[in-house]
Amino acid sequence: METPVILSSPLEKGKSQREIVQETQVPRRTVRRILKLEHTAESVKRSTRNLI
């Protein structure tokens, strides 16, 4: 899963989840869910890459 552009730009700048919420007006739970899904997808990619 790819992080939506509205969240990836502030995230790349090192902003916290709360700062992202204040800037984008996206609910904090939504930001947390998207970032968690992104992290999980990266972990799965790494683990499957190690199996090959």
Given a cut of 80, is residue 24 above it in pLDDT?
A: yes
Q: What is the DSSP letter of 10?
A: H
pLDDT for res 28: 92
What span, in angstroms and rounded, lies between the C-alpha atoms of 15 and 12? 7
| Sole residue written with tokens 């700062």 | 19
Coil, strand or helix at 1: coil
Q: Where are the domains of the chain?
A: 5-51
25/50: higher pLDDT: 25
Q: How many C-beta neighbours within 10 Å does residue 21 have?
A: 19
6/25: higher pLDDT: 25
Kindly report whether the global pTM for this prediction surpasses the value 0.85: no
What span, in angstroms and rounded, lies between the C-alpha atoms of 12 and 52? 30
